[in-house]
Amino acid sequence: MEVIIQPTSEQASVIGAHIIANLVRDNPACVLGLATGGTPIPMYNELVRMHREEGLDFSRVTTFNLDEYVGLRPEQPQSYHAFMWEHLFSHINVARERIHIPNGMAPDIVAECEAYEAAIKAAGGIDLQVLGIGSGGHIGFNEKSSSLASRTRIKTLTAQTQEDNARFFGRPEDVPMHVITMGVGTIMETRQVLLLAFGQHKAQAIVDAVEGPISAMHPASILQMHPVAKALLDDGAASKLALNEYYRWVYDHKPDWQRFVRKRSKG
């Protein structure tokens, strides 16, 4: 796993946006896996800026979101459908028919999960997956002890995850207990992963994910086995890493051709 540490979440988010933008420019018909929550918002803001000011074209891009709450209608403000339209989709030229988000109102949740997996396969797989990480080390809504080979399915949230997400609902008890989420195995089949984590409160989860043993008790730790995984961290999230200075040294001494922030020609 490549670990990229920046002083602030904004600086790390700009790097993440450039990695995505480079992919979109190189492969205009790429497939993006997207995440919700507060963590990716600065990166989405930068992608919106690139679209508006630099002409970054999403018209042929296909998207798949990680997860959705069971029992929330798409138009409810706490739904991940609403989140994505508020923070990204309504500000770029992505085609509505190319957007995929699990249907938390599906009458048959098992069939919905199977159909979601089939849709990912039909699209040719996900080229780049954006991830956040929960305080307990979950990716998507794959809580502790989730199978590392799991596929898209229904999951029951822990009380900690409900509490972490209560800011969007008002009270922890208002957070739905069930979700549809891509599985760990689904995530591991993506061609590239961007794991974003910001703030001191994510520091222990990042240690477990990056430097700890691979374990279902820390689902994000499986990303150590992913061939192209990048962790984008601010100083707070990176503060407990044993190899903190080494990661900074490696990133600061990348050869120019490996750098993510490209200068675009005006021609």
- Residue 121's pLDDT is 98
Q: Does the model's pTM come out above 0.85?
A: yes
Structure tokens at 25: 């420019």
Q: Which CA distances in Å does 56 have to 48, 59, 85, 127? A: 8, 9, 18, 17
- Residue 266's pLDDT is 43
Nearest Cα neighbor of 69 from 193, 138, 162 is 162
- Residue 227's pLDDT is 97
Set out the domains of the chain in order of their start, with CATH numbers: 2-253 (3.40.50.1360)
Give CA–CA dist 225/187, Å, rounded.
Answer: 12
pLDDT at 263 over 70: no
- Residue 22's pLDDT is 97
Q: Which CA distances in Å does 104 have to 85, 239, 266? A: 16, 37, 44
pLDDT at 264 over 80: no
Q: Which CA distances in Å does 62 have to 29, 75, 96, 124, 181? A: 7, 21, 9, 10, 18
Question: With bands split at pLDDT 50, 70 and 90, how would you rate the model's confidence at 262?
Answer: low
- Residue 243's pLDDT is 98
pLDDT at 54 over 80: yes
Round the average pLDDT of the chain to a whole number and report it: 95
Give residue-wise pLDDT tens across range 207-227.
999 999 999 999 999 999 999
- Residue 267's pLDDT is 39
Edge-to-edge order in the sheet of strand 229-234: 2-6, 229-234, 193-197, 128-131, 31-34, 62-65, 99-100
- Residue 130's pLDDT is 98
Kindly give the pairing relationship between strand 67-69 and strand 178-181.
antiparallel
Give residue-wise pLDDT tens across range 86-143.
999 999 999 999 999 999 999 999 999 999 999 999 999 999 999 999 988 999 999 9
Q: Which residues contact 78 (CB under 8 A, 6 or more apart)?
A: 69, 72, 168, 169
Question: With bands split at pLDDT 50, 70 and 90, how would you rate the model's confidence at 256?
Answer: confident
**Ramachandran angles phi, psi of 146, nearest 5°:** -60, 145
Q: What percent of the chain has a predicted confidence (pLDDT) above 90?
A: 88
Identify any residues that bridge with 196 across adjacent strands, giving them in sequence order. Answer: 232
pLDDT at 40 over 90: yes
